Protein backbone atom coordinates (compact mmCIF):
# COMPACT_ATOMS: atom_id res chain seq x y z
CA UNK A 1 0.00 0.00 0.00
CA UNK A 2 1.38 3.41 -0.99
CA UNK A 3 0.96 6.21 1.60
CA UNK A 4 1.90 9.03 -0.85
CA UNK A 5 -0.63 11.86 -1.05
CA UNK A 6 -1.16 15.24 -2.61
CA UNK A 7 -3.40 18.04 -1.46
CA UNK A 8 -4.74 21.40 -2.57
CA UNK A 9 -6.28 24.13 -0.47
CA UNK A 10 -8.85 26.70 -1.46
CA UNK A 11 -8.47 29.47 1.14
CA UNK A 12 -9.77 32.92 1.96
CA UNK A 13 -7.56 35.18 4.10
CA UNK A 14 -8.56 38.26 5.99
CA UNK A 15 -7.15 40.89 8.30
CA UNK A 16 -9.32 43.34 10.19
CA UNK A 17 -7.65 46.06 12.25
CA UNK A 18 -10.30 46.87 14.85
CA UNK A 19 -8.18 49.59 16.42
CA UNK A 20 -4.54 50.47 16.98
CA UNK A 21 -4.58 47.90 19.78
CA UNK A 22 -6.59 45.00 18.34
CA UNK A 23 -6.36 43.08 15.09
CA UNK A 24 -8.15 39.96 13.89
CA UNK A 25 -6.71 37.57 11.29
CA UNK A 26 -8.16 34.54 9.66
CA UNK A 27 -7.62 31.93 7.00
CA UNK A 28 -10.45 29.53 6.20
CA UNK A 29 -11.27 27.16 3.40
CA UNK A 30 -11.34 23.57 2.26
CA UNK A 31 -8.60 21.06 1.61
CA UNK A 32 -8.75 18.38 -1.08
CA UNK A 33 -6.54 15.29 -0.55
CA UNK A 34 -5.81 12.50 -3.00
CA UNK A 35 -4.05 9.26 -2.04
CA UNK A 36 -1.77 7.11 -4.24
CA UNK A 37 -2.98 4.01 -2.35
CA UNK A 38 -6.37 4.25 -4.07
CA UNK A 39 -8.08 5.30 -0.84
CA UNK A 40 -11.03 7.61 -1.45
CA UNK A 41 -9.98 11.27 -1.56
CA UNK A 42 -11.17 13.63 1.16
CA UNK A 43 -12.55 17.16 1.32
CA UNK A 44 -12.17 18.72 4.77
CA UNK A 45 -12.44 22.21 6.30
CA UNK A 46 -9.25 23.98 7.44
CA UNK A 47 -8.89 27.26 9.30
CA UNK A 48 -6.74 29.44 11.51
CA UNK A 49 -8.33 32.35 13.37
CA UNK A 50 -6.35 34.67 15.62
CA UNK A 51 -6.65 37.87 17.61
CA UNK A 52 -3.88 40.05 18.99
CA UNK A 53 -4.53 42.69 21.60
CA UNK A 54 -1.73 45.11 22.50
CA UNK A 55 -2.92 47.46 25.27
CA UNK A 56 0.60 48.95 25.58
CA UNK A 57 3.69 48.81 23.39
CA UNK A 58 5.29 46.46 25.94
CA UNK A 59 2.33 44.07 26.41
CA UNK A 60 0.47 41.78 24.02
CA UNK A 61 -2.16 39.04 24.34
CA UNK A 62 -2.89 36.48 21.63
CA UNK A 63 -5.66 33.96 20.99
CA UNK A 64 -5.69 31.42 18.19
CA UNK A 65 -8.00 28.61 17.07
CA UNK A 66 -7.27 26.18 14.23
CA UNK A 67 -8.09 22.98 12.39
CA UNK A 68 -5.42 21.40 10.22
CA UNK A 69 -4.42 18.05 8.77
CA UNK A 70 -0.78 16.94 8.64
CA UNK A 71 0.88 13.75 7.37
CA UNK A 72 2.87 11.58 9.79
CA UNK A 73 6.59 11.00 9.32
CA UNK A 74 5.96 7.28 8.85
CA UNK A 75 3.40 8.04 6.15
CA UNK A 76 0.81 5.48 7.23
CA UNK A 77 -1.55 8.00 8.82
CA UNK A 78 -2.47 11.69 8.92
CA UNK A 79 -3.39 13.54 12.03
CA UNK A 80 -6.18 16.11 12.25
CA UNK A 81 -5.64 18.72 14.94
CA UNK A 82 -8.44 20.91 16.27
CA UNK A 83 -7.22 23.27 18.93
CA UNK A 84 -6.64 26.65 20.45
CA UNK A 85 -3.81 28.57 22.11
CA UNK A 86 -3.49 31.69 24.22
CA UNK A 87 -0.47 33.72 25.16
CA UNK A 88 0.82 36.83 26.84
CA UNK A 89 4.10 38.65 26.16
CA UNK A 90 5.47 41.38 28.43
CA UNK A 91 8.58 43.49 28.04
CA UNK A 92 9.96 43.75 31.57
CA UNK A 93 13.11 45.87 31.56
CA UNK A 94 14.40 47.33 28.30
CA UNK A 95 15.71 44.24 26.55
CA UNK A 96 14.17 41.61 28.85
CA UNK A 97 10.90 39.98 27.74
CA UNK A 98 8.77 37.30 29.40
CA UNK A 99 6.12 35.21 27.66
CA UNK A 100 3.66 32.51 28.65
CA UNK A 101 1.69 30.37 26.17
CA UNK A 102 -0.76 27.54 26.75
CA UNK A 103 -3.02 25.53 24.50
CA UNK A 104 -5.12 22.49 23.82
CA UNK A 105 -5.22 20.16 20.81
CA UNK A 106 -7.59 17.32 20.09
CA UNK A 107 -5.69 15.13 17.64
CA UNK A 108 -7.39 12.36 15.67
CA UNK A 109 -5.38 9.91 13.60
CA UNK A 110 -6.62 8.91 10.14
CA UNK A 111 -5.12 5.68 8.78
CA UNK A 112 -3.94 5.65 5.17
CA UNK A 113 -2.88 2.01 4.89
CA UNK A 114 -4.91 -1.16 5.15
CA UNK A 115 -4.26 -3.94 7.61
CA UNK A 116 -3.55 -1.61 10.53
CA UNK A 117 -6.12 -0.96 13.22
CA UNK A 118 -5.69 2.27 15.16
CA UNK A 119 -8.59 4.37 16.42
CA UNK A 120 -6.32 6.78 18.22
CA UNK A 121 -7.30 10.18 19.58
CA UNK A 122 -5.11 12.38 21.79
CA UNK A 123 -5.78 15.39 23.98
CA UNK A 124 -2.58 17.41 24.05
CA UNK A 125 -1.83 20.25 26.50
CA UNK A 126 1.34 22.33 25.96
CA UNK A 127 2.48 25.15 28.29
CA UNK A 128 5.56 27.25 27.49
CA UNK A 129 7.28 29.98 29.50
CA UNK A 130 10.20 32.03 28.17
CA UNK A 131 12.46 34.72 29.54
CA UNK A 132 14.42 36.36 26.70
CA UNK A 133 17.21 38.90 26.84
CA UNK A 134 18.10 40.71 23.61
CA UNK A 135 21.85 41.36 23.85
CA UNK A 136 21.74 43.39 20.63
CA UNK A 137 19.72 43.35 17.40
CA UNK A 138 21.44 40.12 16.28
CA UNK A 139 21.94 38.15 19.51
CA UNK A 140 19.33 36.93 22.02
CA UNK A 141 19.50 34.47 24.91
CA UNK A 142 16.46 32.66 26.26
CA UNK A 143 15.71 30.59 29.34
CA UNK A 144 12.63 28.40 28.88
CA UNK A 145 10.35 25.90 30.56
CA UNK A 146 8.03 23.59 28.61
CA UNK A 147 5.36 21.31 30.08
CA UNK A 148 3.78 18.82 27.66
CA UNK A 149 0.96 16.47 28.53
CA UNK A 150 -0.71 13.99 26.18
CA UNK A 151 -3.78 12.01 27.26
CA UNK A 152 -4.14 9.39 24.52
CA UNK A 153 -6.95 6.92 23.91
CA UNK A 154 -4.14 4.34 23.60
CA UNK A 155 -2.43 4.33 26.98
CA UNK A 156 1.14 3.70 25.80
CA UNK A 157 1.09 7.05 23.93
CA UNK A 158 0.09 9.10 27.00
CA UNK A 159 2.85 11.05 28.70
CA UNK A 160 3.80 14.03 30.82
CA UNK A 161 7.11 15.75 30.08
CA UNK A 162 8.89 18.81 31.45
CA UNK A 163 11.87 20.54 29.87
CA UNK A 164 14.05 23.36 31.12
CA UNK A 165 16.69 24.85 28.91
CA UNK A 166 18.66 27.76 27.52
CA UNK A 167 18.87 28.90 23.93
CA UNK A 168 21.15 31.35 22.13
CA UNK A 169 19.86 32.86 18.85
CA UNK A 170 21.91 34.69 16.29
CA UNK A 171 19.83 36.47 13.63
CA UNK A 172 21.27 38.13 10.59
Instruction: State how far the Cα of 17 lies from the Cα of 50, in Å rounded to an integer.
Output: 12
The percent of residues in the chain predicted with pLDDT above 70, rounded, is 95
pLDDT at 116: 64
User: 162 with 147: CB under 8 angstroms?
Assistant: yes
pLDDT at 118: 67
pLDDT at position 72, please?
81
Can you give the pLDDT at residue 39? 76
Q: Is the dihedral of CA 30, 61, 22, 142 positive or negative?
A: negative
* Confidence class for position 61, pLDDT limits 50, 70, 90: very high
How far, in Å, CA of 141 to CA of 166, rounded? 7
Give the per-residue pLDDT at 46. 95
Q: What is the pLDDT of residue 114?
A: 67
Q: Which stretches of the chain are assigned E, i.e. beta strand?
A: 5-17, 22-35, 42-56, 59-71, 77-93, 96-111, 121-134, 139-152, 159-170
Q: What is the reported pTM?
A: 0.82
The answer to whether 82 and 105 are in contact (CB under 8 A) is yes
13-58 per-position pLDDT tens digit: 999 999 999 999 999 999 998 887 777 888 999 999 999 999 999 9
Tens digit of each residue's pLDDT (9 = 90 or more) over 91-130 = 998 899 999 999 999 999 888 776 666 678 999 999 999 9
**In degrees rounded to 5, what are phi and psi of residue 2?**
-100, 120
Q: Indicate the average pLDDT of the chain.
A: 91
Which of 57, 29, 56, 32 minimizes the C-alpha distance to 45?
A: 29
Q: Which spans in the chain are helix H?
A: none
pLDDT for residue 89: 97
DSSP 8-state secondary structure symbol assigned to residue 95: T
CA atoms in the 13 A half-sphere facing the CB of 42? 16
Phi, psi torsion values for 118, nearest 5 degrees: -160, 100
Amino acid sequence: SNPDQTYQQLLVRGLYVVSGKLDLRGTAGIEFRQYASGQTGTVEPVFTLSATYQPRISTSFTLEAYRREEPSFAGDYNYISLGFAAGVRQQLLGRLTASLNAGYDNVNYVLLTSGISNNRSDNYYPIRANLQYDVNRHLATTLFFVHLQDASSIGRYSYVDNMVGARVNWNY
